Amino acid sequence: MTSASRVLLGGPVALVTAYDRGHANVLPIAWHTPLSANPPLVGIAIEQSRHSADVIGHSEQFAINIPARRLLHHVQYLGGLTGARVDKFEVTQLETFTATHVDAPLLTGCLAWVECEVRQVVPLGDHLLFVGLVVAVHVDPTAFDDRWLLQSPDQRPLQFLGDHYYSVMDGVIEARMPGSSDAPERVLQDRMDEDLELTHEAQERRADAVGQLQREVDAGNVVDISQLGGASGVPWAPPPGFRLPELPPRP
C-alpha cells in the first residue's frame, strides 16, 4: 500500500544521474538502500515507465547524488519533469562535474556522490530494482566524516517525507552502550531515569519563566510569550491561573 511506503520514508532524497548515447538525465528518488557490504552493492528502485529506467538499463551505470537543502526546489521540480521530453539540465541550469569511473555526471551543490555500475536488474511490481556495484564514493568533508556531521543547516542532507514535504536532520544524539560487566536492563533504566530528570528540570525552568512573565504582566509591561517554549525546552501552554491583562475596547 502507498501508506506503507510513506511510513518508511524519511531518509535522504537522492538525485540519480545517468548518461546514455549523448544524453544525460537526472531523477529524484527516495527508494534507495544499501544491499551488501562485500561486495559493496546498493539498490535504487525506479518506476518502470520512467525515462531514467531506460537510460540506466541501456547504459548500465548511474550515480547517486545526495543534495543539500539549497537544492530543495530543484529536487521537487525535477520530479515533475520527464527526460523523454525535455533536457532537465538545460531547464534547471544545474552545474555538473565529471565522475571518476562512470559516464553519469555528478551534481554540484550536493554533499555526497556514489558512482555505480549495474550488476543486476530485478523487476518488482511496477518498479525495477537496479542493483549497483559501488565503484567510487565522494563526500564533502565538511558535511560527512564516517557519518553525517550535521553542523551547519546547509550541510545537512535533504530528507523526503512525501508529496512536496521535506526536512533536514536536527542534530546528533549519542547512545551509550553498557559495559561488559553492566546489566543491560539496569543501564537502560538509568538512562530513562536521566531523561525523566531532565524533563523535570525543563518543567521547573518553564514554571520559573511563567512566574516571571506573570509578574511582568501584573506590572503592566509588554511581554513576549512566544519565547517561553524555546527558553525552557518545553512547548508553551498557558498554565492554570495565568492571566493576561484586559485590553481596552477598540474605538
Look at residue 48 in the predicted model and tell me its pLDDT. Answer: 92
Give me the CATH code for the 2-168 domain, please.
Answer: 2.30.110.10
> What does the pLDDT read at residue 226?
56
- The pLDDT value recorded for residue 112 is 96
Main-chain dihedrals φ then ψ at residue 131, nearest 5 degrees? -95, 115
Distance (Å) of CA 149 to CA 72, 173, 176: 20, 11, 18
Q: What is the pLDDT along the chain (251 residues), one digit of tens a residue?
A: 456 777 776 688 999 999 998 889 999 999 999 999 999 999 999 999 888 999 999 999 999 999 998 888 888 887 776 766 676 777 878 899 999 999 999 999 899 999 999 999 999 999 999 999 999 999 999 999 989 999 888 899 988 888 888 888 888 877 776 665 566 666 677 767 777 776 766 667 767 777 777 777 677 666 565 555 544 444 555 555 555 555 555 55
pLDDT of 248 reads: 56
Residue with cell 551543490: 109
What's residue 218's pLDDT? 72
pLDDT at 179: 64
